[in-house]
Amino acid sequence: MQLTLIKLGGSLITDKDKPFTAKKAVIARLAGEIKSALRGFRGKLVIGHGSGSFGHTVAAKYKTAGGISGKRGVKGLSLTAEAAVRINRIVAEQFLKKDLPVLSFAPLSMVTAEEGRVKTIFGEQLKLALKRNLLPVVYGDVILDEKRGCCIFSAEKILGIIARQLREKYAPIRMIHCGITDGVYDGRGETIGRLDEAGFDRLSKQIKGSRSVDVTGGMAHKVEECLEMARLGVRSWIINGTRRGDLRKAILGQSVRGTVI
């Protein structure tokens, strides 16, 4: 059976200029598009969302991406984790309003790292949730790291881990990234329709990073995660979540403006 992983970008669902402000209307609309797509869809979905101006604001203030150093570092970790759950609560609430059977899974509770790389991971709960037709939701979070104390773990990363965990059970697996641009732009600001490793090397200097505070590195990070997914046979679409209806079309496999990797 087919599995589709959907990433809702932090800058799509939160207001980058206002810390701790969610774009509830946008989240509600995206939930509605997912609900609508599910009527004619025979695969499974997993949602992942960024932390946007929630987690990133706190993480930047306390330099949480660098790990834990001293009591202030412990506090930063605690507050960043808190902020990540806070935006997740808002997303879950909007999805529940559309009667979507969401079940949020916390990366902090199920993944640990060592030097910023995944060390241990728990995935049994996710398999059971999909089997029972629930809609798992994960999110960008801070996770514990054996060496550094903690590290930032983006929604892309947790979705990537999930793709690996579920490769034996589901095929094909595809990933849809909903951001605020029409995919990846070239140096002239034009959408690149298709991108592979060689193309990315050529264009990497031209790709603009996200302008908002984003400790996970914006568009370049996203493309790198997509290229790694491509090596596993997972195809990714980077689309514009602000374009009404595009997420629904992308789930249903219809063509939309954006970049395929």
Q: Write out the E strands in the chain.
A: 3-8, 44-49, 102-104, 111-114, 117-121, 135-139, 141-145, 149-153, 173-179, 235-240, 258-260
Q: How far is the CB of 77 from its own copies (least distance, A)?
A: 7
CB atoms within 10 A of CB 124: 9
Cα gap 40→218, rounded to integer Å: 32
Interface with its own copies, residue 86, by CB under 8 A: yes
Least distance to its own copies, CB of residue 73, Å: 9
Q: Which of 117, 132, 188, 205 binds its own copies (CB under 8 A)?
A: 132
Going across the sheet that includes 258-260, the strands are 102-104, 135-139, 44-49, 3-8, 173-179, 235-240, 258-260
Question: What tokens were used for 233?
Answer: 């046979």
Which of residues 101, 187, 189, 233 is near its own copies by CB under 8 A?
Answer: 101
Stretch that binds its own copies, among 45-53, 105-113, 153-161, 236-244 (CB under 8 A): 105-113
Say if CB 174 and CB 239 are below 8 A apart. Answer: no
Does position 81 interact with its own copies (CB under 8 A)? The reply is: yes
Site string for its own copies, 133-162 (x = CB under 8 A): xx--------xxxx--xx------------
Query: Using CB under 8 A as the criterion, which residues of the chain lie in contact with its own copies when the complex forms?
Result: 68, 74-75, 77-79, 81-82, 85-86, 89, 92-93, 96, 99, 101-106, 108-112, 119-120, 122, 124-125, 128-129, 132-134, 143-146, 149-150
